[in-house]
Amino acid sequence: MNALIDALGNLGPQLAQHVLLSATAVAFAMVFALPLAVWASRSPAVERAALGMASLVQTIPALALLALFFPVLLAARAVFGDGLPTLGFLPAWLALSLYALLPILRNAVTALANIDPQAIEAADGLGMTAGQKLRLVEAPLAAPYVMAGIRTASVWTIGAATLATTIGQPSLGDPIFAGLQTQNWALVLAGCVASAGLALLADALFALIERGLALRRLRLALLGAALALAGVAAAALSTVNWRGGEERETIAIGAKTFSEQYILARAIGIVLEQAGYRVTYREGLGSAVIHDALATGAIDVAVDYTGTIWANELGRTDNPGRDAMYGELVRWERETSGTRVLGRLGFENAYGLAMRQDRARAAGIGSVADLAARAPGMTVGGDPEFFERPEWQAVRAAYGLRFGEQRTFAPTLMYAALATGDVDVISAYTSDGRIAADDLVVLADPRGALPNYDAILMLAPGLADDERLAAVLAPLVDAIDVRTMREANYMVDREADKRSPEEAARWLLGQLPWKPTPPL
């Protein structure tokens, strides 16, 4: 219970960002939907088209809708320039605004279409213009039903906004995703409780406005509106830097969706803060998204892996060796986007197919070649990316792997599935502390189908020539061996005496011959 209370107490910044994102998305949807509803109520063709498009948007999963705006905005930079944000608030706001559109539009169109014809006839008899009729008759009669649509849209949007974490927008999804990846259930529960509480509060306030409109009690409706606006204003004010003074440079640090990335991002952040920088985190990003985000300057610093870039970005399937691959990647990044590779951190986190030691020994399986003969009767588990990656296609082709069943898990739950026997083989990470802790064996890859995955530290093109920043981060290069990284990872992933990614990052830095750079 104390862990949950502590987690809830630390959610202030995420709560404020969540409120602002949800409120602005619903507000934009209202501004767009209400005039469209009036037009649709006058034109059956417009009604069919508008409701059809809004319904189509609703069929797209919210997570996919959020992710789709990244490539859309990336392409739009050709028109609007490189300053157009591709991650963070803008794509999340656009996607959630579309998601909020349908309930508002549908309720408004239905309400206007079902107004008592006698009321319309009376307005016509009084000689009202179309504008007067809308303002004095149709709008007041439709208002309670429209507010019900806004109420529904608000609850939907607050729930869907937790997914904005995946495209780098801070929200109440931050503790949920971080908790899921590190098996910190207090964080998951805190994010869920805060999001549900916010949705219930919004629903209650809009219900108050709806009731005031239905009963023609203006003060009641205004009270609900005033309380809702006060909450949004408080959230906005909480994001303002009231300390004043000179604003320090802020560095955006990107991280993927597993424990090691959370730890390394926090370690980089601690190093930068010690040197006088402000930092912000963009966590929970996919491999393709994080690389594109770095190349376009949406984030400033990230750790990636040579094999991932080699296969995903260069589209290469050959394996020229560790040093040759690294040299080619440094050159390619510099020439294609201007991204600077500061260096290798000193350890490798490769993909590997892993089994429980006892089951592998009993089946006589020590390599992927041995596995191929038994694979048709086995189930393989992987993280959400693995089965779509070129490396999986390469290892399947090299060994003729054909499993009986293929299942996808979050990285942390993948290990639990192997331990319980729900799967027979998983796509493990070789720097994961759970390999030793769970008594797993990583199968040998005698045909070299999987490339090496040296962890590399990278700077966005806009900071590639910032020698002070490079000097601040230089002590991390060639400083972390795989044993130390495994231990830090296991601190976060283990069940007993679990540590947060920041605590593990501080421990990790304590193992290095690192001294803080003096602040500016």
- The CATH number given to whatever domain includes residue 101 is 1.10.3720.10
Q: How far apart are CA 69 and CA 268, in angstroms?
A: 28
Evaluate whether residue 292 is within a structural domain.
yes
* Inter-residue contact 350 to 453 (CB < 8 Å): yes
Evaluate whether residue 448 is within a structural domain.
no
pTM: 0.76
- In a shared domain, residues 335 and 385: no
* Inter-residue contact 96 to 165 (CB < 8 Å): no
Which residue, 405, 400, 403, 423, is CA-closest to 413?
Answer: 423
Evaluate whether residue 119 is within a structural domain.
yes
Structure tokens given for 66: 């959020």
- In a shared domain, residues 68 and 144: yes
The pLDDT, as a whole number, for residue 246 is: 47
Domain of 404, CATH number, reads: 3.40.190.120
Classified as helix, coil or strand, 327 is helix
- In a shared domain, residues 81 and 62: yes
- In a shared domain, residues 205 and 287: no
Evaluate whether residue 127 is within a structural domain.
yes
* Domain endpoint, select from 239, 267, 295: 239
Count of CA atoms in the C-beta half-sphere (13 A) of 231: 20
* Domain endpoint, select from 239, 274, 289: 239
Residue 417 sits at the vertex; the CA angle it makes with 286 and 307, to the nearest 5 degrees, is: 35
- In a shared domain, residues 363 and 463: no
- In a shared domain, residues 414 and 473: no
Task: Give 26-32's long-range contacts (Cβ < 8 A, gap of 24+).
Answer: 26/97, 26/100, 26/150, 26/153, 26/154, 26/157, 28/93, 28/97, 29/97, 29/98, 29/100, 29/101, 29/104, 29/153, 30/104, 30/150, 32/97, 32/101
Q: Which residue has the tokens 């990647």?
A: 329
* Ordered strands of the 340-348 beta sheet: 278-282, 250-254, 301-305, 454-459, 340-348
Q: Residues in the chain with pLDDT < 50? A: 245-246
Evaluate whether residue 519 is within a structural domain.
no
* Domain endpoint, select from 383, 408, 442: 442
- In a shared domain, residues 362 and 343: no
Evaluate whether residue 395 is within a structural domain.
yes
The pLDDT, as a whole number, for residue 519 is: 55
Structure tokens given for 216: 């023609």
Q: How far apart are CA 454 and CA 340, in angstroms?
A: 16
- In a shared domain, residues 380 and 282: no
- In a shared domain, residues 152 and 204: yes
- In a shared domain, residues 186 and 270: no
The pLDDT, as a whole number, for residue 241 is: 67
Evaluate whether residue 517 is within a structural domain.
no
**What is the tally of structural domains in the chain?**
3
* Inter-residue contact 450 to 351 (CB < 8 Å): yes
Domain of 290, CATH number, reads: 3.40.190.10
- In a shared domain, residues 164 and 312: no
| Domain of 331, in residue numbers | 250-348+454-511
* Ordered strands of the 405-408 beta sheet: 405-408, 379-382, 425-429, 351-356, 440-442
Evaluate whether residue 516 is within a structural domain.
no
- In a shared domain, residues 10 and 72: yes
